[in-house]
Structure 1
């Protein structure tokens, strides 16, 4: 499978009045053609900063890519000029943002907003762009697209606006689609519709997707691989089955334990104790050590390397060192792993 995007040892800082915030501290991952990679983690873990850096959308005044490379089709985007990036954005790499209302221009019709990238990147005539816009609205499931094309964002519901944003992102059939928590602002029913839509569209236009979310429950339904981020680093990465069936990092255990379950009898939902680290002064050793009930002395002194679990599964935790004590995942994690396994088995039976 061909690598479409490679992020290598990426370091990003923000220069603030309080000092230098080391937001991204050595991130490595790649994206293959036709693949969906989910990046998960709490707010402030570095998910959005990482993906916005791919689009070079970080604020130019106080942000700095201090080290690393972002290779897209072999070209290093960290060294690309703004003019070169303008050709990449929308045409090769597109982004769906979290809140569709702030992504759309309230003073422009939906049709004009969809046609804009087609006129700029595809050099279509206005009539060709209009016809393509109608097809895109139909593709994302908006009824009566010829009429809707002339309407404004305030005339659409939240779910419909998100469909419009997806249509704009897909207008030029980008090779990479970045979805930054695209369902967070929507209710549960609409979330499911948008996720199903994205899966269907991926098959139709053969794009690769980076899906950012804090919700591991969403990940199980959309991703091929999962990268877990904490404190500006990727602490575990593997296939979706490996992350759900065989999670290795205590932080991943915490995220899985805190997933709500409809059939849970527990009165309270599990919460990971403590707060994420202050990246103005990143902690020595493992950034998760202060919140990790299984932390050892070495966690406070040395940062763990990425240990290999399988050819596709890696985790940065000293618990994987040959000399470390053997620790089993908590009961809550095992229960959710079993439920995930049962759900997958049911879905397979349903497809037969």
Structure 2
């Protein structure tokens, strides 16, 4: 039985704006086990970053958690004061942000930026902290680290800066690492290097990772489990094989259908736009964009239907009385491959 390190229950987050209350996160629940990687995927604006910023206590001033629990090692983070969270942030839970240049202080040497968490959270003296910072620079692949530890962020490339941000995030051996689209600003080659580095460092530090992305191709080689998010809600979650090869929600079909693959030269886009969360829909939030939507989708929110012990999807198409529909060709191909995979496992 895997050890559960994080348990998010019925999380709700609103943003106060001049136009009204934006229901950004609407009753989201998921968990994270020790040593695993959970990917949260979805289009921009689906609530991925807001969810994880609630976990680490970095929500904007106009945001308010209006319901739910975030249990980390048996304690509800939402009940901690800002002072208490400062001892958690960077030490027990760390975060890598999208743009490494805005994550680093341009006026500080990188060695100082890596050493600072060690002095604050571990009580190290400056000499020992700098020695550990040098070790971390070498661990994340910065060449000529003895010299470069005294350089400033602008003296590094984007990929090198992201390596430095990873070093800062992992230097205190956190139990959870939140990676918020850490490869978005990088080219494909550097992106692959950063992902390999994260997996390598995860194995060394034994940390659990929440990986936020809209790139399903990245998820395939990175995650153990996947949660699909849309309009502030989770619509499907399961193991990476289940979500990739046996997806059940039409939104997941749309995301996968928009991925380039060697088997198909066609790219399909999802028509329409996400709903206005000032006035969220009462049914399935994806219904207006869903070509398979039924009348009930606009009237009643679907519950999570069990596909397997580890796979659930919130779609009325899984109801016993729902009509049978044929998914897009690419999804059918994936499901056939999944059937083959399951047959091989049984053999």
Per the normalisation by structure 1, the TM-score is: 0.94
Per-residue CA deviation, residues 307-341 of structure 1 (Å, 9 max, x unaligned), is 11111101000000010011232102234567899
Q: Secondary structure of 1:167's partner?
A: helix
Q: Secondary structure of 1:226's partner?
A: strand
Give the whole-Å Cα distance in 1 for the aligned partners of 2:159 and 2:340: 30
Residues 1:312 and 1:257: Cα distance change in structure 2 (over 3 Å):
same
Cα deviation for residue 342 of structure 1 reads: 10
Runs of 4+ in 1 over 4 A off after TM superposition: 336-343
What's the counterpart of residue 28 of structure 2?
27
Give the whole-Å Cα distance in 2 for the aligned partners of 1:338 and 1:183: 31
The answer as to whether partners of 2:245 and 2:334 remain within 8 angstroms in 1 is: no
Residues 1:247 and 1:40: Cα distance change in structure 2 (over 3 Å):
same
What's the counterpart of residue 233 of structure 1?
233
Alignment of 1:8 onto 2:9? yes
The answer as to whether partners of 1:256 and 1:336 remain within 8 angstroms in 2 is: no
Give the whole-Å Cα distance in 2 for the aligned partners of 1:86 and 1:176: 15
What's the counterpart of residue 135 of structure 1?
135
Q: Secondary structure of 2:184's partner?
A: coil
Per-residue CA deviation, residues 170-227 of structure 1 (Å, 9 max, x unaligned), is 0100000000000010000000000011111111110000000001110000000000
Per-residue CA deviation, residues 85-114 of structure 1 (Å, 9 max, x unaligned), is 000000000000000000000110000100
Give unmatched runs, 5+ long, in structure 1: 344-352
Within-5 A mapping of 1:136-285? 136-261=136-261, 264-266=264-266, 269-285=267-283
The range that moved more, 203-212 or 327-336, is 327-336
Cα deviation for residue 145 of structure 1 reads: 1.0
Give the whole-Å Cα distance in 1 for the aligned partners of 2:95 and 2:72: 15
What's the counterpart of residue 345 of structure 2?
none
Cα deviation for residue 264 of structure 1 reads: 3.8
Give the whole-Å Cα distance in 2 for the aligned partners of 1:296 and 1:256: 22
Residues 1:228 and 1:196: Cα distance change in structure 2 (over 3 Å):
same
What's the counterpart of residue 319 of structure 2?
321
Q: Secondary structure of 1:309's partner?
A: strand
Q: CA RMSD of the aligned region, Å? A: 1.5
Give the whole-Å Cα distance in 1 for the aligned partners of 2:186 and 2:216: 16
Give the whole-Å Cα distance in 1 for the aligned partners of 2:151 and 2:337: 44
Residues 1:258 and 1:338: Cα distance change in structure 2 (over 3 Å):
farther
The answer as to whether partners of 2:246 and 2:334 remain within 8 angstroms in 1 is: no
What's the counterpart of residue 329 of structure 2?
331
The answer as to whether partners of 1:257 and 1:336 remain within 8 angstroms in 2 is: no
Give unmatched runs, 5+ long, in structure 2: 342-347
The answer as to whether partners of 1:49 and 1:58 remain within 8 angstroms in 2 is: yes
